[in-house]
A = this chain, B = another copy of it.
């Protein structure tokens, strides 16, 4: 049962981890947002790809949901001593990822090829694919500071500015690469992780041809709501929805995805909501432990197989 899951950061990575435990490795492909990527200290940092890699390999710092467990910040401290503005935290183990990725990109490898090398080295057997090999950058328009690069908004300003709009710089030039296209063509189930629909999933869908390639498939296309009980589990999803004029609810998320999806999973806390999607189910979607992740993945897959 070939499964493709679209993900951004921590929430999506947790579901991907659950899926990786219940599916044969060859059956799972994770397509990852890269519009959060940035250059830091001359190194190419891909926060969402890294979160997926560290989560699937078990290296992840489970308290934060990102970074490597037990990592130190010795490089960063010396960069700070050298007068660098070290507003974006990078651990020493983590740094190896950025150093190797940068060297390989500069040597002409694609981000897809780099990611394959990194994931294989970490013992990850699932396919982890960047949404595109072309650099794309989410630009957040804010009331207080005007346009901010995504990580400026997200990390430096701790997503406190009021968002008035979003755009994905470079998206017109983005190309869906062959590996992504082939994964979408072969998928028997398509999932959208409980990631931020505007910040994590929209950039993926905005890659030219991506939305059409997904929608063209008459297979289960199921999103998992990142909004539970009218708020977000983590991060700015709820705040952003309100700022963009949406009602903050799982229902509004389902409406936003619209006919891109034909199935929707939301939290059992929200049972009773009127979700205007043909197939819906509610489960415990808050993933605190590894068991929670596996259980949600299993529940979603079991439920989909019943209605297929």
* Minimum C-beta distance from A44 to chain B (A): 10
The answer, yes or no, to whether A118 is at the interface (CB within 8 Å) is: yes
Chain B residues in 8 Å Cβ range of A117: 82-83
User: Which of A7-15, A92-100, A180-188 contacts the other chain?
Assistant: A92-100
Chain B residues in 8 Å Cβ range of A97: 78, 82
The answer for the CA separation of A118 and B84 in the assembled complex, in Å, is 11
CB–CB B79/A100 < 8 A: yes
The answer, yes or no, to whether A77 is at the interface (CB within 8 Å) is: yes
CB–CB A75/B92 < 8 A: yes
* Minimum C-beta distance from A285 to chain B (A): 33
The answer, yes or no, to whether A63 is at the interface (CB within 8 Å) is: no
Among B71, B83, B99, B118, the residue within 8 A (CB) of A43 is B99
The answer for the CA separation of A124 and B41 in the assembled complex, in Å, is 23
Among B41, B74, B121, the residue within 8 A (CB) of A93 is B74
Chain B residues in 8 Å Cβ range of A71: 74
The answer, yes or no, to whether A72 is at the interface (CB within 8 Å) is: yes
The answer, yes or no, to whether A143 is at the interface (CB within 8 Å) is: no
* Minimum C-beta distance from A227 to chain B (A): 36
Interface SS majority for chain A: helix
The answer for the CA separation of A140 and B79 in the assembled complex, in Å, is 34
- Encode contact with B along A64-105: 1 for CB under 8 Å, 0 otherwise: 000010011011111101111000000111111101101100
With an 8 Å Cβ cutoff, the count of chain A residues facing the other chain is 32
The answer, yes or no, to whether A42 is at the interface (CB within 8 Å) is: yes
Q: Can you tell how many copies of this chain the complex includes? A: 2
- Residues from 231 to 276 in A contacting B, C-beta threshold 8 Å: none
Looking at A92, A100, A106, A118, which has the most chain B CB atoms within 10 Å of its CB? A92
CB–CB A74/B92 < 8 A: yes
CB–CB B102/A78 < 8 A: no
CB–CB A72/B99 < 8 A: no
* Minimum C-beta distance from A10 to chain B (A): 21
* Minimum C-beta distance from A120 to chain B (A): 9
The answer, yes or no, to whether A122 is at the interface (CB within 8 Å) is: yes
* Minimum C-beta distance from A290 to chain B (A): 22
- Given A72-B72, A121-B83, answer yes or no on A78-B96 (Cβ-Cβ < 8 Å): yes
Chain B residues in 8 Å Cβ range of A43: 99
CB–CB B75/A42 < 8 A: no
Add 13 more A-B contacts to A41-B99, A42-B102 (CB < 8 A): A41-B100, A71-B74, A72-B72, A74-B92, A75-B75, A78-B93, A78-B96, A79-B99, A79-B100, A81-B121, A82-B97, A82-B121, A95-B95
Top 7 closest A-B pairs, CB basis?
A42-B103, A78-B96, A74-B92, A92-B92, A82-B121, A79-B96, A78-B93
24 interchain pairs, CB-CB under 8 A: A41-B99, A41-B100, A42-B99, A42-B100, A42-B106, A71-B74, A72-B72, A74-B91, A74-B92, A74-B93, A75-B75, A75-B92, A75-B93, A75-B96, A78-B93, A78-B94, A78-B96, A78-B97, A79-B96, A79-B99, A81-B121, A81-B122, A82-B96, A95-B99
